[in-house]
Amino acid sequence: MAVMQFREAIRAAMVEEMERDENIFLMGEEVGRYNGAYKVSQGMLERFGPERVIDTPISEGGFAGLGLGAAMVGLRPIIEFMTWNFSFVAFDQLVSNAAKIRYMSGGQIKLPIVFRGPNGHAGQLAATHSNSVESLYSNVPGLKVIAPSNPDDAKGLLKAAIRDDDPVLFLESELMYNMTGEVSDEEDYVLPIGKARLAREGEDVTIVAHSKSYWLAMEAAEELSRQGYEAEVIDPRTIRPLDYDAIIASVKKTNRLVIVDESNPMASISSEAAYLIQEKAFDYLDAPILRINSADTPAPYAKSLMDLWPPRVDEIIEACKKVMYV
Partner 1 sequence: MARKKKSSSSKTTPRVKTVVDRREAPEQVGNIPVRKVETEIEHPFYFYPDADAYTHEELGLDVDRVLEMYRNMLLQRRFEERARQMYMKGKIAGFLHLYIGQEAVSTGSIFAIREDDYVITAYRDHGQALARGMSARAGMAELFGKITGCSKGKGGSMHFFDVEHNFLGGHAIVGGHIPLGVGVAFACKYKKTDRVCLTFFGDGAINQGAFHEAANLAGLYKLPAMLICENNEYGMGTPVSLASAEPNLYKRAVSYRMPGVLVNGMDVFTVYKAVSDMLPLVRQGQPVLMEVRTYRYQGHSMSDPATYRTKEELEAKKHEDPVLRMKSYILRHDLAESVFLEQMDKDVREEVMDAVRFADESPEPPPEELYTDVYVQEDYPFLNWKIPTPRKQ
Query: Of 33, 321, 2, nearest to 187 (Cα)?
Result: 2
β-pair partners for 168:
114, 144
Which of 7, 11, 102, 212 binds partner 1 (CB under 8 A)? It is 102
Contacts of 320 (CB under 8 A, 6+ apart): 204, 205, 207, 220, 224, 229, 231, 256, 258
> Site map for partner 1, 37-56, x if CB under 8 A?
--------------x--x-x
- Quick check: 288 binds partner 1 (CB under 8 A)? no
Which of 33, 73, 187, 226 binds partner 1 (CB under 8 A)? It is 73
Tally of CA atoms within 13 A in the half-sphere of 242 that contains its CB: 24
Which CB atom, from 106 or from 228, has the smaller least distance to partner 1? 106
Distance (Å, whole) CA 192 – CA 254 = 26
Distance (Å, whole) CA 326 – CA 306 = 29
For residue 94, the 8-state DSSP code is I
The nearest distance, CB 49 to partner 1, in angstroms, is 12
**Phi, psi (5° rounding) for residue 259?**
-115, 130
Going across the sheet that includes 168-172, the strands are: 53-55, 24-28, 76-80, 114-118, 168-172, 144-146, 238-240
Residues 78-97 that bind partner 1 (CB under 8 A): 89, 92-93, 96-97
| Secondary structure class of 230 (helix, strand, coil) | coil
Distance (Å, whole) CA 109 – CA 226 = 54
- Quick check: 68 binds partner 1 (CB under 8 A)? yes
- Quick check: 170 binds partner 1 (CB under 8 A)? no
Which of 144, 197, 210, 212 binds partner 1 (CB under 8 A)? It is 144
- Quick check: 74 binds partner 1 (CB under 8 A)? yes
Which of 104, 127, 198, 305 binds partner 1 (CB under 8 A)? It is 104
Q: Which stretch binds partner 1 (CB under 8 A): 12-20, 62-70, 170-178, 308-316?
A: 62-70
Cis peptide before 241, with omega less than 30 degrees from 0?
yes
Q: Is 210 a catalytic residue?
A: no
Distance (Å, whole) CA 88 – CA 111 = 20
Q: Which stretch binds partner 1 (CB under 8 A): 35-43, 140-148, 214-222, 314-322?
A: 140-148
Active-site choice (8, 17, 29, 60): 60
- Quick check: 63 binds partner 1 (CB under 8 A)? yes
- Quick check: 131 binds partner 1 (CB under 8 A)? no
Q: Is 172 a catalytic residue?
A: no
The nearest distance, CB 224 to partner 1, in angstroms, is 31
- Quick check: 224 binds partner 1 (CB under 8 A)? no
β-pair partners for 180:
5
- Quick check: 164 binds partner 1 (CB under 8 A)? yes
Which residues form the catalytic set? Answer: 60, 129
Binding interface with partner 1 (CB under 8 A):
25, 51, 54, 56-57, 59, 61-75, 89, 92-93, 96-97, 101-110, 141-142, 144, 164-166, 194, 241, 244, 276
